[in-house]
Amino acid sequence: TATTTTATRAMALPRALATQTRLASTTKLFINGEFRESTTDKWLPVRNPATNEIVSEVPCATPEELNEAAESAAATFKTWRNSSVITRQNVMFKLQGLLRDNMSELAKLITLEQGKTLADAEGDVLRGIQVVEHACGIPSLLMGETVGNVAKDMDTYSYRMPLGVTAGICPFNFPAMIPLWMFPVSLACGNTMLLKPSERDPGAAMLIAKLAQEAGVPDGALNMVHGSVDTVNFLCDNEHIKAISFVGSDNAGMHIWNRGSGNGKRVQSNMGAKNHGVILPDANKTATLNALVGAAFGAAGQRCMALSTVVLVGEAASWSEDLIELARGLKVSAGDQPGTDVGPMISREAMQRAYDLVESGVQQGAKLLLDGRNIKVDGYPDGNWMGPTILSHVTTDMDCYKEEIFGPVLVCLEVDTIDEAIELVNKNRWGNGTAVFTNCGAAARKFTFEIEAGQVGVNVPIPVPLPMFSFTGNKASFVGDLNFYGKAGVQFYTQLKTITSLWRNSDADVLKAATVMPTMK
């Protein structure tokens, strides 16, 4: 049941530290424009995944603090909704510049708390900045529709109106990009927001909140609240909150969807994935193998658009030896060490889970071509290390195929034809992304039309659309009707209001009350 799932997930979260052991470095709440220490007695450790040292502690905000944040967002909405669209556009322009100026500081925070390499962390920030850049176009994005003369002297037009207070709930794997998928679009549309960064790596989101304040976001328009399940449940229940954006795992996403929409809120929920790369034998071999290795093992496989599964069609099955060589050549170390390709995994538990799923694959008959478990990394004896790992001869009934591993593990399946490959990918319950590698236009076209996944790459391994489009994962990877960013993002954070107006100089035409339904002739 949902309750059991929630309870199980709650237990998997890091245990709260005792109150007496408060570190100098604590993550602050940001409420009504003020960065302040929580009064809670429940704190969670934020660890550097390369060393497991605690770098900060994050509070589980108290119900009073959460209420205060919601009240301040509701109060600010009354003025922010009436700010001119040009004011909001200018705030986005300033935020864009500040984010670019602070790119390397943000990247350092991401690497410290999340583990990915500095270059990859800059990519995390950049993909978020691109959403802010799109939000700079808000005056055009908010344009409604008009029809003049729907009846004599009568006109109909629509506005995209803001919703009110919105909420954002973020995962650990993109500590800058995903908060930036949410609040810039919401605020540009005239809403206010309570944002909950991942409790594992809130540092980048907190610096972004400071930059948003500097950019001119008014007090109370953006509030940062922390915690885990209780904070999330507050966001699903609070009466001021009209819409919730969630990105993260299936269990949390379905819980939030059920609870939030049960309370009458809009919910968009981006969840888990198992993205398949389909390799046809006519593909450019070197480019394809490099693309696969980068997309499978980059960020230690902890991307929702990682290519974690490869389907080798026909003779492409013989490419696995070269795949192993390329994967073996990747350097595993701390994300701030020069030359690192693969950083640590987020936690001991996540690492052990990935180890266990690899073991289950071996037990269930897969071939372990490359084993990255239990590796030693010079200078970092306590990191959550897992090197690139490849399993071949995987079948769809194995746990390593059925589960999202979310680690540097590539599972390989072998089929004879493109039709079999398409059928296999379409049988998978998730539909976040997929990619085909080929030199045949007709095969690529067939693939893009017949495949069910919502984001398709043709010789492009991680086809995350730029924000003029939307992030369109589907099937079990998404619930909701309106996707993140792009036109759909603006639609998610607004509701249409349609006005029909009649302007006449005299009342000569209206001599009697009309009791029939207006037909607007």
Instruction: Select 230 or 282, whichever has its Cβ closest to ligand NAD.
Output: 230
- Name the nearest CA neighbour of 187 among 264, 99, 76: 76
Q: Provide the CA 132 distance to its chain's centre, in angstroms.
A: 15
DSSP labels, 371-435: --TT---TT-TTS-----EEEES--TTSHHHHS---SSEEEEEEESSHHHHHHHHHHSSEES-EE
Q: Which two tokens stand for residue 371?
A: 């084993």
Tell me: does residue 172 bind ligand NAD (CB under 6 A). Answer: yes
Least Å distance, CB 275 to ligand NAD, is: 9
Among 165, 217, 271, 421, binds ligand NAD (CB under 6 A): 271
Among 48, 191, 198, 213, binds ligand NAD (CB under 6 A): 198
Least Å distance, CB 96 to ligand NAD, is: 22
Residue pointed to by tokens 């907190």? 206
Residues in 207-236 at the binding interface with ligand NAD, rule: CB under 6 A: 228-229, 232
Alpha-carbon gap, residue 66 to 64, rounded angstroms: 5
Tell me: does residue 251 bind ligand NAD (CB under 6 A). Answer: yes
Using the contact rule CB under 6 A, the part of the chain among 66-74, 371-379, 439-447, 469-477 near ligand NAD is: 469-477
Residue pointed to by tokens 């919730």? 244
Tell me: does residue 272 bind ligand NAD (CB under 6 A). Answer: yes
Least Å distance, CB 432 to ligand NAD, is: 5
Least Å distance, CB 240 to ligand NAD, is: 19
| Residues in Cβ contact with 37 at an 8 Å cutoff, skipping those fewer than 6 apart | 26, 28, 29, 59
Least Å distance, CB 498 to ligand NAD, is: 32
Tell me: does residue 475 bind ligand NAD (CB under 6 A). Answer: no
| Residues in Cβ contact with 463 at an 8 Å cutoff, skipping those fewer than 6 apart | 305, 433, 435, 455, 456, 457
Q: Which of 304, 400, 412, 440 is catalytic?
A: 304
Q: Per-residue contact track with ligand NAD, 303 to 332, x per CB under 6 A?
A: -x----------------------------
Tell me: does residue 472 bind ligand NAD (CB under 6 A). Answer: no
Number of H helices, E strands in the chain: 17, 22
DSSP labels, 102-129: THHHHHHHHHHHH---HHHHHHHHHHHH
Q: Which two tokens stand for residue 3?
A: 């309750």
54, 20 contact by CB (below 8 A): no
DSSP labels, 50-95: TT--EEEEEE---HHHHHHHHHHHHHHHHHHTTS-HHHHHHHHHHH
Instruction: Select 77 or 257, whichever has its Cβ closest to ligand NAD.
Output: 257
Number of residues that bind ligand NAD (CB under 6 A): 32
Tell me: does residue 404 bind ligand NAD (CB under 6 A). Answer: yes
Using the contact rule CB under 6 A, the part of the chain among 153-161, 164-172, 332-340, 438-446 near ligand NAD is: 164-172
- Name the nearest CA neighbour of 239 among 33, 72, 71: 71
341, 366 contact by CB (below 8 A): no
Tell me: does residue 263 bind ligand NAD (CB under 6 A). Answer: no
Least Å distance, CB 7 to ligand NAD, is: 8
**Active-site residue 412, yes or no?**
no
Instruction: Select 268 or 288, whichever has its Cβ closest to ligand NAD.
Output: 268
Instruction: Select 228 or 238, whichever has its Cβ closest to ligand NAD.
Output: 228
- Name the nearest CA neighbour of 249 among 23, 432, 483, 400: 432
- Name the nearest CA neighbour of 275 among 81, 420, 460, 57: 460
Tell me: does residue 300 bind ligand NAD (CB under 6 A). Answer: no
Tell me: does residue 421 bind ligand NAD (CB under 6 A). Answer: no
The residues that are catalytic are 304
The residues that touch ligand NAD, with contacts defined as CB under 6 A, are 6, 9-10, 169-174, 196, 198-199, 228-229, 232, 247-249, 251-252, 255, 270-273, 304, 404, 406, 432, 471, 473, 477
